Amino acid sequence: MREVPDFPRPGVVFRDLTPVLADPDALRAMVDALQDKIDDSTQVIAAIESRGFLLGAALGYGWRYGVVPLRKPGKLPVVADSVSYALEYGEASLELPADAIQPGQRVVVVDDVLATGGTAEAACTLVERAGGIVTGVSVVLEIAALGGRSRLAGREVSALLAV
């Protein structure tokens, strides 16, 4: 993993997982470690755009989960729901595709980094409003100083690495 200072805005240090994703052995180890943290009752991965897509697809294929992409606005042809939220450097929104999560389905939310928790909280809100049951939030890296875990109170949160 590399740190990129002042991206996407001055003062933000971006944690870039591209070197890990580009290394086949590191990628395999990372995906296997994420799987080890996922509740056995999980049926669906809710993968957050965009690096969550890569992790979610690998988990879905490897362990036979369905994968639902949670997208930025304007990317889905049919939207079931949308949530706006604050980031550490601005505001954003996530959208859930129509008919992607069924009531009662057990869903884990997957992303690369947990920072302030706004994105993960929005993802959980989308899943729960669709009737899904969030079995956990699973990330590769947690930036603990930003306190994102506190926004996910009552949910199981797992991170492979915390800084």
- Annotated catalytic residue, options 15, 49, 88, 128: 88
d(CA 118, CA 132): 19
121 belongs to the catalytic site: no
In sequence order, the 6+-apart residues with CB closer than 8 A to the CB of 146 are 88, 115, 116, 117
**Two structure tokens written together for 78:** 């049919």
How far apart, in whole angstroms, are the C-alpha atoms of residue 85 and residue 77?
22
Q: Is 128 a catalytic residue?
A: no
For 129, residues 6+ apart whose C-beta sits below 8 A from its C-beta are: 81
Catalytic residue among 51, 71, 149, 151: 51
CA–CA distance, 74 with 4 (Å, rounded to integer): 28
Three-state DSSP at 47 gives strand
Spell out the SS3 assignment of 110-122: EEEEECCCHHHHH
User: Which residues are known to be catalytic?
Assistant: 51, 88
